[in-house]
Amino acid sequence: MTFGTGTTASLRLQELRNKEGILAKAALVLFLLVGAAIFFVWTRSQVVDLGLKMSELKKTENQELRRNQMLTVEKETLKSAERIEQYARERLGMAYPDPRRIKSIEGK
């Protein structure tokens, strides 16, 4: 039994549509895989970048902590009574008064 040319054409058309559907699905899968790979690479690069930034910030934090400690020591040194007295004598030319020149004032 032979089929007409119309049946053969419709079978070919159906096969072509099936191949197009498979090709479309394969393209979609390939597109999704490439997209996932790009996303994975991007997230890894973000993690590395953030790690580098954290490292730099930690280094800066340690430097600032050391500076803060040094400034605290300097502050304590500068506000000590001995240091203030030395500064007053050497830089301001101040001295203790002669005890003979001190006069007491009694309150009422």
Q: Is residue 1 part of a domain?
A: no
**By percentage, how much of the chain surpasses pLDDT 90?**
62
- Examine residue 102 and state whether it is found in any structural domain, yes or no: no
14, part of any domain:
yes
Grade residue 108 by pLDDT with cuts at 50, 70 and 90. Answer: low
Domain span at residue 74 reads 7-94
Q: Is residue 15 part of a domain?
A: yes
Cβ neighbours of residue 89 under 8 Å, at least 6 residues apart?
Answer: 95
**Euclidean distance between CA atoms 55 and 63, whole angstroms:** 12
> Across the chain, what does the average pLDDT equal?
90
- Inside any domain, residue 42: yes
Torsion of CA 19, 22, 23, 27, to 10 degrees: 170
With respect to residue 103, please indicate whether it lies within any of the assigned structural domains: no
Does any domain span residue 43? yes
Q: What pLDDT, in 10s, does the model give residues 58-101?
A: 999 999 999 999 999 999 988 999 989 999 999 999 998 888 88
Please give the tally of structural domains in the chain.
1
Whether 51 is in a domain gets the answer: yes
